Structure 1
Amino acid sequence: MHIFVTGASGFVGRRVVQVLTARADIRVTVAARGERFTCPEAEQVVRFDDLATARFSAELSGVDTVVHCAARVHVMNDQEADPLEAFRRVNVEGTLNLARQAAKAGARRFIFLSSIKVNGESTTPGAPFTADEVGNPSDPYGVSKMEAEQGLRELASSSGMEVVIIRPVLVYGPGVKANFRSMMRWLHKGVPLPFGAIHNARSLVALDNLVDLIVTCVSHPAAANQTFMVSDGEDLSTTVLLRKMASALGKPARLLPVPSALLRAGANMLGKRSLSQRLCGSLQVDICATRSVLGWTPPLSVDEALNVTASDFMENEKK
């Protein structure tokens, strides 16, 4: 089997390539932006500057499946004059440019790494998002991912190429950046945090659980033209997550029981409304359909995945 992977230099794409190239029955071609990226384990590295205009006809010849991880990701404090247009250029035009070429080259399946932001930003506790709900994105990134999904479904209908859409929630694991890593650093240093009384519910997905689902979708016959939610299957409050994270780091969790309402009010005053939503609000997904359609179970528990993440964090903190 020959698989074409984009975004191979990214957090998810890099791990996808590692898992696929470890299998003797799979040949892997990777595509990455710019000249600096190298990938010795891949059969071929394809470089491009602009995904919306890139040409991959020769490299896609003989490819069975495309795993499309490349994207313009959610950007905090975006400086683009027109953020939606910037997201559309990569996430919609770039995705469909690649998908059309894949279909023309005879690829059997196209796996698209989308986002839970297609569904929205929050849920009511106990009422998780499902894959069959009408999208309700609230930011340019989510809009661009929804439009890419719509374009891919139309292409699947007209070309016969199977499309698989996966909507991850927050992904964590070895090498994780941004707020998740900041939280680990604060806990590791023993900094008291005002997050000891947050009673929300959030779905997360470990990197290796997400990659396991992606690899399952490469060949599973029932994955064709489906949309899948993915998580670890265990929803946590921010308070419980921080306690588990501290335990994985071998540190006490110094969490102060500040009421969520007070945290939200303070964050809003500082212009950090979106951050307070992520910390205090709920966002759950239902993976029952993913489990039943594919017979899939997340291979790692939350505790196992946090232990792996914490070990990597502490190893890198020593450097």
Structure 2
Amino acid sequence: MAKAVLVTGATGFVGSGVLTRLVESSDTKLLGLVRTRGAQLPINVLPVLMSDEGLMGNVPLQGVEVIVHCAARVHVMDDRTSEPLSEFRKVNVDGTLNLARQAVAVGVKRFIFISSIKVNGEGTKLGVPYAADDDPKPMDPYGISKMEAEKGLQQLAKETGLEVVIIRPVLVYGPGVKANFQTMMKWLSKGVPLPLGTVHNKRSLVALDNLVDLIVTCLDHPAAANQTFMVSDGEDLSTAELLSRISGALGRPARLLPVPVWLLELGAAIVGRRDVARRLCGSLQVDISKTRELLGWAPPIPVDEALAKTVKAFQANKNG
């Protein structure tokens, strides 16, 4: 394994998961790029303070062999900025490429870029998953910015010899998950009836532990260099199945009402929330066969075990 690894977005959901895993499993020197002094990092991780210019400034990279780049301007629901694509580009494209060029200048060997499935698009036909080498078709500013960053990194790799590894996660869940996944757990824990009993789509998800395991695999796997990988739990679930399994982990019955999908979609359209209906009712599947075959990797944590761990942390936080 590399002698020194820098993780950006070190206090974020994925970045902190990577550092925690590496602290537990290696004696590699670990550095975490943070925005503020006193940021809470796992023990034995050296904080590296980001300059006032953020990712456009200079980052001390001397001695670092691998960068795991998790920091990003993430997808923002109801983004009200006047030029959202420009805002995404500042961090996700310009900041990423600035960091990568600095990495080249000091001899960093490998740059692992945590991208997004949104590079591929917003959804798939049932049973027709996205593959790692499909042509990108991003539909929103966030996905476009991630695609542009990928292309810039790939060009830099050709020009300089920097090894670039691109990983496109689907929705990531695990202990401490926020946003829609946390909201679902709150509804189910309260026994709120949900009109999703007839939603028989298929969606790929990835547990944080499984994503982190792949990232760690890519730190030094020779076959990972200059490749793009999909990652998931290896088991796709419908929205109704996911809610039922979360309810089971919560120890509560799932109260799923059999409302027709067309009616859900119509209601969402009327209130201007087609995007919500798409996520709840549409399919989004990924094919991880390239990841399995090229790296000899398989998701180590089954879905039900990962959901149980997520729910346990949710309940502990709620009770606390």
TM-score interval (norm. to shorter):
over 0.9
**Using the alignment, how far apart are the partners of 2:175 and 2:310 within structure 1?**
5
**Residue 36 of structure 1, CA deviation:** 4.7
* Contact 2:7-2:15 at 8 Å conserved across structures: yes
**Residue type of the alignment partner of 2:220:** S
Q: How far does residue 25 in structure 1 lie from its aligned partner after superposition? A: 2.6
Contact 2:4 2:63 in 1 (8 A): yes
Which residue of the other structure, out of 13, 20, 37, is the alignment partner of 1:18? 20
* Matching residue of 1:54: 57
User: Aligned letter for 1:242?
Assistant: L
8 Å contact from structure 2 (residues 165, 226) kept in 1: yes
Decide whether the 8 Å contact of 1:201 with 1:236 is kept in 2.
yes
- For 2:38 and 2:73, locate their aligned partners in 1 and report how far apart those are by CA, in whole Å: 18
Code of the residue aligned with 1:155 in structure 2: it is L
Query: 1:115 Cα deviation (Å)?
Result: 0.1
1:37 aligns with 2:34: no
SS in 2 for 1:128: coil
Matched length: 317
Counterpart-to-counterpart distance in 2, 1:42 and 1:87: 32
Per-residue deviation, residues 11-68 of structure 1 (Å, max 9, x unmatched): 1101111111223431101101233513252442112243342201xx3111110000
Find the aligned partners of 1:11 and 1:45 in 2 and give their Cα distance.
16
The correspondence of residues 196-207 of structure 1 with structure 2, limited to 5 A, is 196-207=197-208
Matched, 1:231 2:232: yes
What's the counterpart of residue 30 of structure 2? 28
**Structure 2 match to 1:86:** 87
Partner of 2:189: 188
Q: Equivalent residue of 2:313, what SS? A: helix
Letter in 1 for 2:125: T
The one-letter code matched in structure 1 to 2:13 is F
Q: What is the CA–CA distance in structure 2 between the aligned matches of 1:40 and 1:179, rounded to whole Å? A: 26
Structure 2 CA distance for aligned equivalents of residues 220 and 54 of structure 1: 30
Matched residue, 1:116: 117
**Inter-CA distance 144–309: structure 2 relative to 1 (3 Å threshold):** same
1:191-232 alpha-carbon deviations (Å, 9 max, x no partner): 111010001010000000000000000011110000000000
Distance 2:287 2:154 in 1: 22
More displaced stretch, 24-33 vs 195-204: 24-33
In the alignment, what sits opposite 1:137? 138
Q: CA RMSD in A?
A: 1.0
Name the counterpart of 1:299. 300
1:76 counterpart = 2:62: no
Residue 153 of structure 1 corresponds to which residue in structure 2?
A: 154
Question: 2:201, 2:239 within 8 Å by CA — same for their partners in 1?
Answer: yes
- Name the CA distance, whole Å, in 2 between partners of 1:108 and 1:173: 30
Look up the equivalent residue of 1:211 and give its one-letter code.
V
- Once the two structures are TM-superposed, the CA of residue 81 in structure 1 deviates from its matched residue by 1.4
The answer to whether 1:315 aligns with 2:316 is yes
Kindly, what percent of the aligned residue pairs are identical? 60
Q: Secondary structure at the match of 2:223?
A: helix
Kept in 2: contact 1:64–1:109 (CA 8 A): yes
Q: 1:64 to 1:249 in 2, by over 3 A?
A: same
Instruction: Spell out, residue by residue over 1:173-201, the C-alpha distance to the aligned partner (whole angstroms, 9 max, x if none).
Output: 00000111111111001111101000101
Determine helix, strand or coil for the equivalent of 2:135: coil
1:118–1:146 Cα contact (<8 Å) kept: yes
C-alpha distance after superposition, 1:141-180 (max 9, x if no partner) = 0000000000000010111010000000000000000111
Is the CA contact (8 Å cut-off) linking 2:19 and 2:42 kept in structure 1?
A: no
Q: Which residue of 2 aligns with 1:209?
A: 210
Q: TM-score, normalised by structure 2?
A: 0.97
Moved more, 36-45 or 300-309: 36-45
- Paired residue secondary structure (2:255): coil
- Higher mean C-alpha displacement, 72-81 vs 158-167: 72-81
Runs in 1 of length 4+ with deviation above 3 angstroms? 49-52
SS of equivalent to 2:130:
coil
In structure 2, stretches of 5+ residues that fail to align are none
TM-score (ref. length: structure 1): 0.97
> Does structure 2 retain, via aligned residues, the 8 Å contact 1:198–1:260?
yes
